[in-house]
Each structure stands twice: as structure tokens, then as C-alpha cells.
Structure 1
Amino acid sequence: MRLIVAVACLLLVASCANIPEQTNAYVIPNSSAQPQQRVQLPDRDADPIMVVRKFIEDSGDTAMAEAYLTDEAKRLWRPDSQPTIVDDDFSTVPRQQAKDADPETASVEVKSTTKGRLDSHKSFIPQVKQDSGIVKLVRKDGQWRISETPNNAMIIPISSFTNNYRPVKLYFYDTSKEVPVPDQRFLPGSPLPSASEIISLLLQGPATGLQGAVHSAIPSSAVQRTNATTSTRDGATIVNLGMLGDQTIETKRAIATQIVLSLQDVPTTTVRLQVEDMPLVPDQPDWKVSDVQADGGRTTPRPGLNGMMVVGNRVKDLRDGKPIANPAGSGEYRVESAAQSVDGSQLAVVERLNNGEMQLRVGGLTEGLRAIQVTGTEMTRPTWQYPVASNEIGKEVWVVANNTINRAVRNREGTWMPLPVNQSEIEGFGKITELRLSRDGVRVAVVADGKLVVGAVVRANNSTDVAISAPKQLLPSITNVVGVDWLDNSRLVVATNSPTGPVWQVPVDGIQAQRYNLANLTLPLSSITAAPSRQIVVTDAVGMWTASDIGQVWLPHPQSQAQGPGARPFYPG
């Protein structure tokens, strides 16, 4: 008998020694759930109004919110469906009960201002409106508990949302399939993101608002073969995919870039990429963020490009105030606005003609500019698409003439051709007074009737067709917008003529804005420009001002006094 037991123990030890770092088990939902914490129960003496308020205030933490529900309501409640995010100042109003109503029941009306919701992709969708719903309660064992919520869904105040959800940037590719594009999502739970959750969202593809504008190198057939795990040997995050199909080495490296950039918020320095337990890229099993490039260096202006400004109908250097060596700087053209291409080689200007009309001119920075067949009585400042191919110079510029979006494209022969943009989805927002292409070219920010609107730029394959898709107004509380620019690919800076907030920083999904310092700015503001790793420059009633951070006091630009309030600064792009 002792011999049998000894042999059994030896077999058990041997089997344990052969357990690998990760197993071949398939992905288990919620495998990343953190250890459950002790939930504080509701106050025994809380009345219906307080129970409903605390339920909503705690709704960002599912475990805490469920403590306010009856057992039946817990089974019906859908906290992971598509939660609605509301302002913090919601109201809870008791409903008058009928005379013959059960005294052990109660109803409370919840009135709130909806900011938006999370969709099935975990993307924030702005949707500002006034809303109300009825919450029903029952008293059991002397305590009030919620028996029914509106549509069995979840309402989360914005403060609870920001405390309990974490933003995660997934990465896809622009039309060149070389430049990674951020796509922000929100995941509930602890401050540490789960690699499995992030990879699961990445495999589902881009958010609804970006579909058609971005692409994924990961085939739609791909799955997580096993849960993303942490190596017990060296702490690397192990991502094991399956059903990837036959892919070129270039595509595999593109897949690696997407995954590594998307896992930047995971507390790890190394990502071990596998397909069916084998390295995704045979000669490089492990990856770090330093192994991939975020944008290929083509979407951001070089440090040597100082920026320019339009002053007195001439284009000048933003650093020293001298006119540029171009007919646009000498006064040959009556320049109303201008834009320099991202690579710095090209210039586009809006010229006012003697008859009052405006026309677009485009050309090399060191040569005369050609008139393009884009004219109108009103025209926005131009904006450039970055050079898609690494060996290209700027060859596409956008402008709005008489509320019609135009793009001028240079063909292989060097001729600039005006081409249309399908703007049917954005027309309902009103007259366009500003339009800026994002630095990765997949989004467009628009000022329409003083509102801030962002949409996706959808380019048809093997066609010149381009359309603005899924436009959304961001933060209706920010009014009287006069200018906008891209701080980076996922944040905007906005200039307004609102005394409560002249300058704002707005995430591209519009979930919550941050106001820049009010000090020193004098309304009205007339323009704003921004670029990655550069100071923001705004022009107000006095002159140009600069700031780098949200809380920083605005300081006079070195050229402010010399150029005055008529200066219109711009960085390349």
C-alpha cells in the first residue's frame, strides 16, 4: 500500500513539473477580474430617495451598486450592456403613490442630463439630452431595495465613471496601412488594464465611428487562442493568437505594432507575441514599445519648421516675423489665410481677388503658387493631408468654399485637380467656418455655426471618392467656437468667444473637456494653432499668446507686439 502511495506522489510531482507557462485553454470571459473586495452594504435606515441616489452614485462599481438591488433585479440588471453617462447633478424625486398602493413599495423619478453612452465597442458616443426614468423599490425586512431600474440598464454619473473606468487606446491603421491611429475605449474595473480585454476589443475591429476610415492588419478570423498571461519566468505579457492564416512578414510586423501599441497601458515592458504557441515573427518573439514607431515620423512637423502667420495679407515666419521668400510673403498675393504642408515643402494660400472673390493657390514654398479652380465669396483657411508615401511631398489640401468642402489633389503630372468631398452627413450642423484634418488624416474637425463637430474621413478603395462619415457634435456646452486645431491625433484645442472658457482641450470622443487658464486673454479670440510638442498659440483682441499646459498662464508671444491682433498663426498641417 505504501509503495502505491509513493508512486502516486512521484507521478503527481512529475506532472506538475511539466506544466508550461501558459496552457492551451481557450479564453475564459472575465478571466481578468480582480479579487473581490468587501462591499459596504446600504444604510439600514436609508429612505427610497437615498437608496436610489447611492445606487446611481456607486453604479461605476458594479459590486457596490448591486448591493442596492433585490435578488430578482440583480438577475435582470445589465450593467455591461451600454451604460449611460450623465452629469453629476442628477435629481431623485419621489413619485406620489396611489391611495391603495402597497405601503411596502415606492417609486422615485430620476432626472438627469445625459452626456452620452458606451456602445458595444466600449467607445463613448456623445448624446446630450434631458432624460428621466422611474426606479421602483420594495421594502424587505425593513430595508428598501430597488426592484426595477429603467430598461434594466445602468446610469453612471461622470465622476463615478472617471473613477471606475479606465481609458484604453487601441491602434488601427490609416489608408496607407503604415500610420497607427488611436481609437479610445473605456473598460470598467481596477486601474490596471487587462491584456485579454484589450486584445479582445482589438480583434473586434475599429469603433463604429471609424469604420471605413481605418484598417486593421489583424484578419477578422483571428482569435485569442489562450488568455493573455504573465510569464512566471520573466514577467512578459504573453499574447497567443489563433486562426491568423497565412500572412507576409510585413503584415505580421504590422500586427505586432498594433498589439504592442494597444498594450501600452498594461504594466509590462515586454510583449511576447505568439500564434498557436509559436512566435508571431520568428526572429523576434519579444516586443517593446521602442521596437515600433507610432506614426512613422510623417504626420508631425519637424522641429526645424517654426510655423508661420498671416499678417497684413502676407505670410511671415512665426519665429522672427520676417516675410517668407515667396510671392505670398512679398505681397504679390493678397493673402487671407494660409497653410504649410506637414513636410514643409508646400504652401497653400487663400487669396482675395480685386472683385472680392477668393481663390485657392498652391505650390512649392520657394516658388510661385498656382491658382486652383476653387473659388468663393467665403473660404476657410486650408489644411493639408500628410504625405501618404514616405517619398512624397504634400499633394492634398482641403478648404471650404461657400460652405462646400473641396480638396485639391496633385496628380503624377504635377497638375492640381479640385475633387469633391461627400459632405451630406455633416450638412445638418450648419455653416462651416473652420475645418482641420487630423494629423493622421482619418478624422476631420469642423466648426459649424459655432459648434465643434468631429467626423471620420472615409476613402474608397481604388477610387477618388472621399466622404465625411459619422459626424458628432462634441460638448454642446462649449459654444461660440471660432477656431480649432489638433493638439495630437486624439486631442483638440478649441478657441471660443465665451467668457467662461476662451480655450479648451477636448478629447476626440468629447467625453469631458479641460479649460485652459483664463488669465491674460481678452475677447474676442480670432485664431488658434497647435501641434505635438509645441506651444499653443492663440490670437485675441491684443495679440498672440502662448501656453503649453492646461493651468499655465498665457504669455505674450515674442512677435505679439510687433504683429498685433491681426496675426493668424499656423503650424504645418
Structure 2
Amino acid sequence: MKQLLVSLLCFVLLAGCANVPLESQPVVVPGERQGQGPGDVVPEPAQGIDPLTLVRDFVGATLKPGQNNAAARAYLDDASQASWRPSRSLTIIQDTFGTVYDTDPQPDPNTLVVNVRGIDVGTLDQNSAFVPDYSSALLQVKVRKQANGQWRIVDPPADLYATESDFSANYTAVAVSFYSESAATFVPDRRYVLAKPQSGLPSRVMDLLVTGPSTALAGAVKNLLGEPVEIDTNVKSLDDGTLVVPLTGLAGVPDDTRKLIAAQIVLSLQYVTSARIRILADGAPLVANHPDWRLSELPSYGAALSPSLELKGLMTVGGRVRSLDDGAPVPGPAGNGGYEVVNAAQSIDGKRLAVVAREGGQVRLRIGDLGHELPLVNLSGTTMSRPTWRPGTGEVWTVVDQYSVGRMVVNPNGQWTALQVNATDLTQQGGITELRFSRDGARVAAVVGGQLWVASVVGSGDSVSLREPRHLQPHDLQEVVDVDWVAQDSLVAVTTSNSQPVLRVTVDGQRMDAFNSSNLTPKVHGVTAAPGRQIVVADASGLWTASALGEVWRPQAHTMKDADPFYPG
């Protein structure tokens, strides 16, 4: 009888594990979501679902609409459903991923461990900001067969996991604005909020404003809505469509700061509403006699940080600086061959020129008024990156010998002093060959070892550092040779790639799009961009212009072979 019982028990256990596949093939999880609203009944997993499919569907249910991750929670056993408290962090993996059983034996034949194999492309952190990454994602999930014969997850992960398609389908990007005192302008901080319900978008954006800038911009910008400011009651829409933003904690705040706060709110909400915005402070208008706001009513913050349309841009070619407008050399020794110009940068107002010139076996930096003699400053080396003018300060930065960031500061008498920038966080990633300031001055874009990085600019006076470097598109963006800012939160990079030589990348690296490569002759080696301007790239044959991703590149009117273009800044 004992032998018979043992035999029957083995048979039951084997049957319990029968029809369980040993490994799932990588699959693409579709991004379309038929979401449940709060309060809707969440369907149970399919009857008889195997552990591999259970875990895969669990990942696919992570971002389905519903309260408290209800759709994903349905894949857990009863105890885990009650106890699971996932963090606010969201790991985003590629659409194609696989599930496979862990090879370590389990003491209980009705308990298995499933490994999720894929590529981690980034994380949505606690501040709702995207942090790029490219690494193997290995998630271990324990599943157990329940008394009713159904498999359920008993050890859910502490963080949420979702595919790129699911993330794009359920989240929307918003540029939350924070103030830069040095440049007297607002800086967009790219964040991501749940797209539905749409009516709640303004409230979610306001929550991000009050909690402050993301880690990537911490120290580089000021949060005008920091403590003790709070959202008094819910952000809501009135019957006439007006959006009401009620604040508290603003007692004693001066009028000029209140106007900046109003601008910060309107600029941030422009991506989620077109309604008139009524901003209140303890029930009264935030700004006296101006209760309601529209985007069109705001001053043009940062207008002085973008070059005038009258400044057409310049180029270096054959050791001289020439105009992009007519191809003529600029006046003075920079244009007539008095210097052997390697690269150059024009100030934002167009009045000054910084030139890296070759002298013997070295290069030296010259800065002065355009059209005149450019005095030498105390900065030299074997190599120097193309200079870049720091917005709002008049400073000139360049990278000397790839590892030292030189910062030239001018005093009221016109004398230039060389100061060091603490760029250790960036230079430890490799040698810097290009460095460009964003138009608001809060960030720099850098080409480091042929890859694209962005860092924030923190500090003022004699102490300035480059902090929080982020590696953008680390896997897909390689062999970068030049970069410029096409907008405050978007870059254009050129690479030596034959198939995708020119690419647009968001400042956080979450999205990358290729420009049309028609008409371009590899290798592309230079680029310049500015707000409201055509992008100009330099390839093996000369200069080309385009304005949009799908647009075919056209020859620049005064193209020259081996030219390197640059707009002021």
C-alpha cells in the first residue's frame, strides 16, 4: 500500500508539472492597450496559463490603466496581492524579451523561478525623469502552483517593469520649466506622466513642479515653487473651461517673483492644456490685477540668448573664417589669413569672436572684437575643442587636450582670465572632443570618446562644475563627431555612419530619430543649429541644409569643401 501511495504521489507531481514549456522564445509584446478605468473589473489570467506566459503577461499588464497596479496584481497569489508595494521606479525594457526557467533546483516541485531576459533601455526614476541605460535585464520571478491548479507569482519584483511600446502608449512627455538665474530664463526639464485620464494631466504636472527639478538639473536651476509653497486644493477646470491652480505658502513673496512663478506654471502647463489659467495664492490672484494667464501674455524670456536672425552664421575653411551668408572672409586677421584658424565661435550678440589658432606645434586661444585683432589669452595646448559662449555671462569655454575644460572670464576692463571647471564627473568617462552650451546655459552637450553625453552646469563665480553626466543612446549612437542644440531640450548629432549620419536626440536620450541621409556624402564631420534656423551639416563635399527629419538635404548657398559651420553661441 505504501509503495502504491508513493507511486500515485509521484504521478500527481509529474502531472502537475506536465505541459509546462522549458523556455519561451523572445516575443514582441504589442504596445496597444485596452485599459481598464478605476473601478472596472480586472480580468483574471487565462485558465491553465503556464509559468513562462504568466510572467510575460505580468510584465505586459504593468501599465494597464487602473488603481494600484490592479491589472498586474491579478497575476499574484492572494498573499502577494495584499502585500505587494512596488516602488515608484519603472524599468523600461526592449519590446523583444524572453522568459526561461532558472536552472537552480527548487525544493518544492510546485514552485519555480522564471528569469526574464531582455535589454534594459532606461529607468523612469522617482522624479518621473528618464535615466538612459543599456544593459542586460535579468529579473527573477518566483511562481507557485495554487490549490486550484493555477500558477501565480509569489515573489513579485520590488520595481515595476514595462516594455518600450507600453511605456510610449501610456506615458506622455512634458517639459516642466524651472528658472535659471544666471541666464534669466526658464529651462525645460523633460519628465513623463501618465497620459490618462487626460483631465488629470494639469494636476500631475503641477505635482512635478512643486517637488522640484529632476536629479539631472539639481543645482543648475531654481525651483520658485519650493517649500513652503504647496498646492492648496485640487487643480480643477471651471464650467467655462478656465483651469484653476490654487497655491498656498506665498505670503511675503515679492511681485517680481510672483510673475516668474506665474510664467513657470504657464510654460509647464502649455503641453497639457490650451485653457486660460487662473493662478491663486490663498484664494486671491497670485499677481494683483492679473488673475488669468495665457502663454501669449508672457514676456519673451531668454530672447537675448538666441542669435538675431540678422546674424547668418560663419564657417571656418582653409584656416580662415568666412560668412555663411555670402562666403566672404570676415574682416580682420581671422578672415584675411593673419591667423591659421583651426576652429572658432561667434558671441551670441555677434560682436566678438573666439578663435583657436595654430602657432607652431600648439594651438592658442584668441578672443576679441569681430573684424579686429584678436588678442591672445592665457590658454594653450596641443588640441582645443571649438569654443562655446556661455549664455548670460559672456564666458568662453573650450576643452584643452580633451581632459581640461578651460573657462575664460572677462572683467570690466576687457581682460580675460582663465579659470578651471570641475569636469571630473564627465572627463572620467573619456576624452572630450566637442563641448556645446545649451541656449539657456544650464547644460552642456559633449562628445566623449565618440559618444554623446549631457551634463548640468552647477555653480557660479569662481566655482563651476559639470554634474550628473548622462550617456545618451549608449548602444545605438556611436562614432559621434559633432553636436549642437536644435532646441533647449533636443540635440542634433552627426556621426561617421553611412546609413544614419545625422540624428536628433532628446536631452534625456529617451528618443532618437534619424534625418534623411539623401544627398549627403560620407563622412559628415560638422553641424550647427539654432532656434528658428536651418540645420547646417558639413560632409565630404561641402555644406548642406535641412529643417525637418524627412526633408532632403539641399546645398548651402555658399558651400565650400572642408568647411565647418557655426551659428553664434
Same fold (TM over 0.5): yes
Q: Which amino acid aligns with 1:90?
A: F
Displacement of 1:501 in angstroms is 2.2
Aligned to 2:426: 426
Aligned to 1:557: 556
Aligned to 1:533: 532
Q: Which amino acid aligns with 1:415?
A: Q
Contact 1:77 / 1:153 at 8 angstroms: preserved in 2? no
Q: Map Cα deviations across residues 127-174 of structure 1 (whole Å, 9 max, x no partner).
A: 322131211223343433322223x22111111111111111111111
Distance in 2 between the 1:429 and 1:173 partners? 29
Q: Map Cα deviations across residues 164-203 of structure 1 (whole Å, 9 max, x no partner).
A: 1111111111133720000011112417352222112111
Displacement of 1:45 in angstroms is 3.6
Over 3 Å counting, the alpha-carbon distance change for 1:191 and 1:177 in structure 2 is farther
Q: Which amino acid aligns with 1:491?
A: S
Gaps of 5+ in 1: 1-32, 389-394
Contact 1:343 / 1:386 at 8 angstroms: preserved in 2? no
Query: Secondary structure of the residue that 1:72 maps to in structure 2?
Result: helix
- Which of residues 48, 67, 72 is equivalent to 2:74? 67
Distance in 1 between the 2:303 and 2:418 partners? 28
> 1:101-112 alignment to 2 at 5 Å?
101-103=108-110, 105-112=111-118
Report how many aligned residue pairs link the two structures: 526
Over 3 Å counting, the alpha-carbon distance change for 1:502 and 1:332 in structure 2 is same
Aligned to 1:5: none
Distance in 2 between the 1:235 and 1:93 partners? 52
Aligned to 1:410: 410
Q: Map Cα deviations across residues 236-258 of structure 1 (whole Å, 9 max, x no partner).
A: 11111111231111010011011
Q: Map Cα deviations across residues 427-470 of structure 1 (whole Å, 9 max, x no partner).
A: 2111111000111001011111111111110123xx32111111
Contact 1:314 / 1:334 at 8 angstroms: preserved in 2? yes
Q: Which amino acid aligns with 2:308?
A: R
Query: Secondary structure of the residue that 1:75 maps to in structure 2?
Result: helix
Over 3 Å counting, the alpha-carbon distance change for 1:325 and 1:39 in structure 2 is farther
Q: Which amino acid aligns with 1:133?
A: L
Aligned to 1:498: 497
Aligned to 1:543: 542
Aligned to 1:464: 462
> After alignment, is 479-488 or 379-388 more displaced?
379-388
Distance in 2 between the 1:69 and 1:275 partners? 45
> 1:13-52 alignment to 2 at 5 Å?
35-36=38-39, 39-52=42-55
Over 3 Å counting, the alpha-carbon distance change for 1:143 and 1:521 in structure 2 is farther
Q: Is 1:366 the counterpart of 2:374 in the alignment?
A: no
Contact 2:183 / 2:440 at 8 angstroms: preserved in 1? no
Q: Is 1:399 the counterpart of 2:405 in the alignment?
A: no
Q: Which amino acid aligns with 1:66?
A: R
Over 3 Å counting, the alpha-carbon distance change for 1:34 and 1:519 in structure 2 is same
Q: Map Cα deviations across residues 482-539 of structure 1 (whole Å, 9 max, x no partner).
A: 0111111101111111234211111111112112223232322211111112221111
Q: Map Cα deviations across residues 182-228 of structure 1 (whole Å, 9 max, x no partner).
A: 00111124173522221121111111121111112224211111011
Query: Secondary structure of the residue that 2:55 maps to in structure 1?
Result: helix
Query: Secondary structure of the residue that 1:551 maps to in structure 2?
Result: coil
Over 3 Å counting, the alpha-carbon distance change for 1:317 and 1:73 in structure 2 is same
Contact 2:183 / 2:302 at 8 angstroms: preserved in 1? no
Q: Which amino acid aligns with 1:359?
A: R
Q: Is 1:377 the counterpart of 2:382 in the alignment?
A: yes
Q: Map Cα deviations across residues 60-116 of structure 1 (whole Å, 9 max, x no partner).
A: 22443333233333334345521111122222112357486333x332111121122
Q: Is 1:571 the counterpart of 2:562 in the alignment?
A: no
Q: Is 1:180 the counterpart of 2:186 in the alignment?
A: yes
Query: Secondary structure of the residue that 2:72 maps to in structure 1?
Result: helix
Contact 1:175 / 1:213 at 8 angstroms: preserved in 2? no
> After alignment, is 276-285 or 184-193 more displaced?
184-193
Aligned to 2:521: 522
Aligned to 2:348: 342
Contact 1:272 / 1:287 at 8 angstroms: preserved in 2? yes
Aligned to 2:13: none
Distance in 1 between the 2:151 and 2:300 partners? 53
Query: Secondary structure of the residue that 2:541 maps to in structure 1?
Result: coil
Q: Which amino acid aligns with 1:567?
A: A
Aligned to 1:444: 444
Q: Is 1:218 the counterpart of 2:194 in the alignment?
A: no
Distance in 2 between the 1:236 and 1:253 partners? 19
Q: Is 1:455 the counterpart of 2:455 in the alignment?
A: yes
Q: Which amino acid aligns with 2:96?
A: D
Distance in 2 between the 1:100 and 1:310 partners? 71
- Which of residues 207, 213, 219 is equivalent to 1:206? 213
Distance in 1 between the 2:346 and 2:219 partners? 28
Query: Secondary structure of the residue that 1:425 maps to in structure 2?
Result: helix
Contact 1:170 / 1:262 at 8 angstroms: preserved in 2? yes
- Which of residues 252, 261, 277 is equivalent to 1:255? 261
TM-score by length of 1: 0.88
Q: Map Cα deviations across residues 366-411 of structure 1 (whole Å, 9 max, x no partner).
A: 32212111111111111111235xxxxxx21111111211111111
Gaps of 5+ in 2: 1-35
- Which of residues 299, 312, 316 is equivalent to 1:310? 316
- Which of residues 112, 115, 120 is equivalent to 1:114? 120
Distance in 1 between the 2:518 and 2:382 partners? 36
> After alignment, is 498-507 or 464-473 more displaced?
498-507
Percent identity between the two aligned chains? 40
